[in-house]
Structure 1
Amino acid sequence: MRAPAVEKESIQSIRVEVRGESFQMMKDSSVMFKPYSEITFIQTDKPVYKPGQTVHFRIVTLDTQFAPVIQLYSTVELRDVHQNRIGQWTNVSTNGRILQLSHPLSSEAPLGTYTLSAAVGETRTQHSFKVKEYVLPRFEVKVNAPSEVNVAESELKIEIQVVDFKDLPVVDMPVYLYRGYWSSDVMLNLTTDQHGMASFSLNMTDHNDHLNLRASCYGPNILRPSFQNKYYEDARQAISPLQPVTVQRPSVSSVVLQNVEQPLACGKVAHFTGKYVVVGEKAQDSPLYFFYLGEVSFELMVDPEMSPVLQVLVYSVLPSGNVIAGNKDFETEKCFKHKVSLEFSPPRAVPAEQGTLKVTAQPGALCGLSSVDQSVLLLEPNKQLDADK
């Protein structure tokens, strides 16, 4: 069915009725419908700036198919840390479906969080960035560990890697593993090998609850340097206990979908299994009642229409006319119909060497490019526009 068009949020009742030769099923559900609205994004070229630098930013509005639309913004404002308006643009429209603007910061600009906003009618979209004195990180610490761990596992293997701003491994670097993001409780002292890696295992029988880990190149008694000196970013990883799904001889018929590795990969076939238990059913023209255990497997191609969450429903109509069903949500990769690729030639170059940048997309596609020092992104890693946002 096609969802009805609504002007405001409304809750409506939907009745689903299924009829067969020997059975009938009917269910009423309440469903909330929300009005269609386009989504506006604001993106800056960097997440953090120094006083005196120029802020370059772009604004784009997307429809439900994630395609950019021509949009008129009544006002676009830039406010400083004290909420003083230091920049304003009125009645500006997207040029080629993307609006690109810039604003030079004063050399005496106060440090703190600045806010960009764009208004379309009564709807206002905001995006923040920081102005501060900083030095580019020379090293980055990465933690490779699962976000969830089965409670039945007694040991968890974790890897810590230290790389420089060229993504090259840092050898013989001391690394400290802390219990908690802000704690000074050191669990392990490690040293990176020739690959910049430090591997270790944790006994999970000692950690039955949620566990937060922080890997740092700074020991508990080492003061962090000021912004004028070199420093490196910490890495954080949260690990939660995962309770396994089991079927323990239920007293009634049921079907349960089993867990699979997530997120499901886009463009690939996912394999699903449902385990079922049928109790007290009687085959046609037979006086016997049976108890049956089994499983059913099936495959499904994961495409962009299923992103970001796919809900799988399995059901069966039993000889008695009863219906058993089970459903489960599976996360998918954040994928889109429109594929874009970026390639440098050569992939590595020395300063002042000539290079070529190749962008591949669908014919007539509108692509936005930005070029900044990768180390800047490490200062505010969650500020970039990505598939999750």
Structure 2
Amino acid sequence: PEQKYHGYKTLFFTSADTRIHLLQPATPYSPMFSKLTIESSEEPFKCGAEVPITINYYIVGETTEMFSINLIYMVLSKGLIVHHGHEKVEVESSTDIRRGNISFTLSVAAEFAPAVEVVVYSVLPSEKVITANKNFEVEKCFRNQVMLTSNVFLLTTPIPKKLGHCKMYIKPECNDLQIS
């Protein structure tokens, strides 16, 4: 009789070690997953203002060693990137949640109205991508400053047309104004 070897039918066991961590309940102060948040004034941004924007990062469970990440941010208005930048962040070694923030200043221009969207993202050491975005209103404003003075608006009684006057002051760089 001929014997055949059926190695694939032989039982095979291996041993392994793993470490199980108890999960902490999620609270607003201890997020369950890595995330980014964006903060700034809830009031509409004023033209010509310098507005601080803060990006908070929370990193959970990546590694216990120190590492660095790049936070890349963009500001979009009407579908165009109007401001962008990045910040390299050194993340300290820890077994807890790593948190921190970066800030940048946005110079608000008339072209940004009626709104801007701030987008931020980062690639973590585990190759997971975390993102956040937030929309902010921008007050309506003119590209060129115009000042109108008149003696007609101050009077309570009507005056003859010949006595009333109106003056308009426009900055010199304004070359597209039409008065009719």
Question: Is 1:344 the counterpart of 2:125 in the alignment?
Answer: no
Question: Is 1:365 the counterpart of 2:171 in the alignment?
Answer: no
Match of 1:355 in 2: 164
CA contact (8 A) 1:254 1:278 kept: yes
C-alpha RMSD of matched pairs (Å) = 2.8
TM-score normalized with structure 2 length: 0.56
Compare the two structures and name the one with the higher strand fraction. Answer: 1
Question: Is 1:326 the counterpart of 2:124 in the alignment?
Answer: no
| Superposition pairs of residues 298-337 of structure 1, within 5 angstroms | 298-337=104-143
Secondary structure at the counterpart of residue 136 of structure 2: strand
Question: Is 1:266 the counterpart of 2:43 in the alignment?
Answer: no
CA distance in 2, matches of 1:269, 1:364: 27
CA distance in 2, matches of 1:269, 1:341: 23
CA 359–251 in structure 1, closer or farther in 2 if over 3 Å, else same: same
Q: CA offsets, 1:322-380, max 9 Å, x none? A: 32221000011012324433221476234327332112342352134xxxxxxxxxxxx
Match of 1:257 in 2: 38
CA distance in 1, matches of 2:175, 2:104: 36
> How far is the alpha carbon of 1:273 from its aligned partner?
1.8
> How far is the alpha carbon of 1:310 from its aligned partner?
0.4
Secondary structure at the counterpart of residue 52 of structure 2: strand
CA contact (8 A) 2:152 2:165 kept: yes
| Superposition pairs of residues 152-231 of structure 1, within 5 angstroms | none
> How far is the alpha carbon of 1:250 from its aligned partner?
1.9
> How far is the alpha carbon of 1:262 from its aligned partner?
1.8
CA 341–288 in structure 1, closer or farther in 2 if over 3 Å, else same: closer
CA 249–290 in structure 1, closer or farther in 2 if over 3 Å, else same: closer
TM-score normalized with structure 1 length: 0.28
CA 337–351 in structure 1, closer or farther in 2 if over 3 Å, else same: same
CA contact (8 A) 1:273 1:296 kept: yes
Q: Which sections of structure 2, spanning at least 5 residues, go unmatched?
A: 1-26, 68-91
What letter corresponds to residue 106 of structure 2 in structure 1?
A: L
Secondary structure at the counterpart of residue 256 of structure 1: strand
CA contact (8 A) 2:39 2:55 kept: yes
Q: CA offsets, 1:70-89, max 9 Å, x none? A: xxxxxxxxxxxxxxxxxxxx
> How far is the alpha carbon of 1:259 from its aligned partner?
4.8
Match of 1:278 in 2: 59
Q: Which sections of structure 1, spanning at least 5 residues, go unmatched?
A: 1-245, 369-389
CA contact (8 A) 1:342 1:360 kept: yes
CA contact (8 A) 1:343 1:359 kept: yes
Highest RCO, 1 vs 2 (Cα 8 Å, sep ≥ 6):
2
Match of 2:9 in 1: none
What letter corresponds to residue 366 of structure 1 in structure 2?
A: Q
CA contact (8 A) 2:35 2:59 kept: yes
CA distance in 2, matches of 1:248, 1:288: 17
